[in-house]
Amino acid sequence: MVAERIEASGLNLEERIVDIWRCAKVIKGGRRFTFAAMAVVGNGHGIAGMGYGKGREVPIAIEKAVKDAKKHLVRVPTYGSTIPHEVRGKYATAAVVMIPALPGTGVIAGQAVRAVLDSIGIRDVLTKSVGGNNNAKNLVKATFEALLQLRNREDIAALRGVTIQDDPVLVQSLRVHQSEPQRQRPVMHEDRPRRRGPRRDKDGAGQSSASPAVQAAAAAPAAEEKKKSE
């Protein structure tokens, strides 16, 4: 599928840094360090792009990566908060599988793949890296290869020359359900007496929680009977 190029002018793009790498070159006077960065930009509504930049300093590398990403913006078809269908993308030895998910599932993905999906605006999807390489660069490129293979219902209907009816069950399931209000626990009144169990002393024997005056009054009849018996 040929990607549709988008101009960055007039778009509110959000930048995300995927990763930063440091490279050292051995020269006569020692080692020279350079930095490389990969960035992803997107508006959160189906438009995203990736870029790669190098520089002597980290800010310069990030700036170049963001500029490169804005030059390679593409439009990705979505279906609600997920993708239209299952898709698999491969770049070099990295491979990514993406499966649609119901609302509330969230983005199940790693750091590199999540940055791409968040920039597009996909909030519910299942992903899995099934390749032999988990390099962040290759994973991002494999993710874009997979996203560029997506086609919506209108494109398929136009290619086949037919009208595809919407599945009412699927449409109903893709609606975001409003969360029910949480039930609050009833507040205990301060004037309500609290039940307390018998206290435990160091020896483990039970000890009453009554006041000393009440304990003395309760022990008085027993003391009198003991004196009479003596």
Contact 115, 96 (CB under 8 A): no
Dist. CA 171–CA 166, nearest whole Å: 7
Dist. CA 94–CA 4, nearest whole Å: 24
Q: Strands 94-100, 107-108: parallel, antiparallel or unpaired by DSSP?
A: unpaired
Query: In terms of pLDDT, which residue wins out, 179 or 50?
Result: 50
Q: Quote the pLDDT of residue 182.
A: 47
SS3 152: coil
pLDDT at 68 over 90: yes
pTM of structure: 0.69
pLDDT at 178 over 50: no
SS3 67: helix
Dist. CA 6–CA 13, nearest whole Å: 12
Quick one: what percent of the chain has pLDDT higher than 90? 47
Indicate the pLDDT class of residue 48, thresholds 50, 70 and 90.
very high
Contact 131, 93 (CB under 8 A): yes
pLDDT at 192 over 50: yes
Average pLDDT, the chain: 80
- Name the residue type at position 89: G
Q: Quote the pLDDT of residue 225.
A: 66
Q: Quote the pLDDT of residue 139.
A: 94
Q: Quote the pLDDT of residue 80.
A: 84
- Sign of the alpha-carbon dihedral angle for 39, 16, 109, 107: negative
pLDDT at 155 over 90: no
Indicate the pLDDT class of residue 180, thresholds 50, 70 and 90.
very low
Q: Give 89-123 pLDDT, tens digit per residue.
A: 999 999 999 999 988 889 999 999 999 999 999 99
